[in-house]
Homo-oligomer: A and B are copies of this chain.
């Protein structure tokens, strides 16, 4: 229920360690923004600046078009899940969740209703009277999440709120957060390292690196049309394969391997040296007319899928194939690539050119 405007936001620690640099982002009311980026790229720092817990070195922060740089946290009406939880160690689980409501002068019955509701959603009912020290890691994280969702704040900030939960609970919590968002429509910034969360929850995804924005877009855009090698390699798990190769009129050369490609699927006006990106799932076994043969180096069984590691023109890659096909290391496989899903990057700037 608020829009946010981050303008040239910059955070410098200790006079010279730049954690966030010239960060520009307009978040519309009701958006669900997901931040992703490598460890240490500044995600938490931005959240903390938005929450008012960290001074803004340069730049301006607006919430509902009001400049917030010097407004105290308590007046920003934000609810936040801290990465390290920051639970109140001296309060019970119930009190932890009730605190924010009490501070905002809700009635006792209303507090009770909301806390119990959240506790039920989070599976914390049996622990309402325990202190955080007597909880498991995942239980603590759920309390931290509960403390935020009981509030109907203007803005939700969630810093990896599900990282310590098991897969099943995580799926469940994810859908709870999604339904919460569709019910309350609270503007949300959500930090995650989980690809599934990033892809399924975001209205827009923000990819960060070294404190700077790499790309902003819908998950589909970011996944299918990454702006550069960094984004392409960061989104998707296992990561996209990159091959350095060179362009010819009618195809590609990767090492000593030649791959013929229809002209319409190749970039124009580009220098000859090029980086080719291929996602593991865009390679497939084709016995009829394979593009190339390769010897399997390693096989990793992942339940439904199997990952195979092999090489193309001496450059290693990973491909994903269904587990139903039994494969052994050492075996030689005929492989093809979905040509229309290949991506091309400039070898100098690393930006995508096609």
Task: Compute how far the CA of A40 lies from the CA of B235 in the bound complex, rounded to whole angstroms.
Answer: 31
**CB within 8 Å of B: which A122-155 residues:** 123, 134-139, 142
Contacts of A233 in B (CB 8 A): 168
Segment among A66-74, A96-104, A299-307 that sits at the interface with chain B: A299-307
Known: A38-B168, A169-B38. A195 touches B303 (CB 8 A): yes
A112 → B minimal CB distance (Å): 24
Contacts of A281 in B (CB 8 A): 303-305, 322-323
Task: Give the interface size bracket for A toward B.
Answer: 35 or more
Contact with B along A267-306 (1 / 0, CB 8 A): 0000000000001110000000000000000001111110
A138 → B minimal CB distance (Å): 3
User: A167 contacts B237, CB within 8 Å?
Assistant: yes
User: B44 contacts A136, CB within 8 Å?
Assistant: yes
Contacts of A199 in B (CB 8 A): 301-303
Segment among A2-10, A158-166, A253-261 that sits at the interface with chain B: A158-166
A121 → B minimal CB distance (Å): 14
Partner of A166, one of B36, B84, B305, B323: B36
**CB within 8 Å of B: which A1-31 residues:** 13-14
**CB within 8 Å of B: which A186-244 residues:** 193-196, 199-200, 219-220, 223, 233-239
Task: Compute how far the CA of A86 lies from the CA of B310 in the bound complex, rounded to whole angstroms.
Answer: 40
User: A193 contacts B170, CB within 8 Å?
Assistant: yes
Known: A301-B199, A302-B200. A137 touches B165 (CB 8 A): no
Task: Compute how far the CA of A301 lies from the CA of B170 in the bound complex, rounded to whole angstroms.
Answer: 17
Check A352 for interface membership: any CB of B closer than 8 A. Answer: no
A16 → B minimal CB distance (Å): 13
Check A324 for interface membership: any CB of B closer than 8 A. Answer: yes
Check A39 for interface membership: any CB of B closer than 8 A. Answer: yes
**CB within 8 Å of B: which A27-48 residues:** 36-40, 43-45
Task: Compute how far the CA of A139 lies from the CA of B17 in the bound complex, rounded to whole angstroms.
Answer: 15
Contacts of A234 in B (CB 8 A): 166-168
Known: A37-B166, A40-B139, A138-B40. A302 touches B196 (CB 8 A): yes
Contacts of A223 in B (CB 8 A): 303
Contacts of A239 in B (CB 8 A): 167-168, 171
Q: Which residue of B lies closest to A14 (CB)?
A: B134
Check A246 for interface membership: any CB of B closer than 8 A. Answer: no
Task: Compute how far the CA of A352 lies from the CA of B38 in the bound complex, rounded to whole angstroms.
Answer: 41
Contact with B along A76-99 (1 / 0, CB 8 A): 000000011000000000000000
Task: Compute how far the CA of A39 lies from the CA of B196 in the bound complex, rounded to whole angstroms.
Answer: 19
User: A195 contacts B219, CB within 8 Å?
Assistant: no
Contacts of A43 in B (CB 8 A): 136
Q: Which residue of B lies closest to A193 (CB)?
A: B166
User: A137 contacts B303, CB within 8 Å?
Assistant: no
User: B301 contacts A200, CB within 8 Å?
Assistant: yes
Contacts of A108 in B (CB 8 A): none
Q: Which residue of B lies closest to A222 (CB)?
A: B303
Which residues of A approach B to under 8 Å, CB–CB? 13-14, 36-40, 43-45, 83-84, 123, 134-139, 142, 159-160, 163-171, 193-196, 199-200, 219-220, 223, 233-239, 279-281, 300-305, 320, 322-324, 338
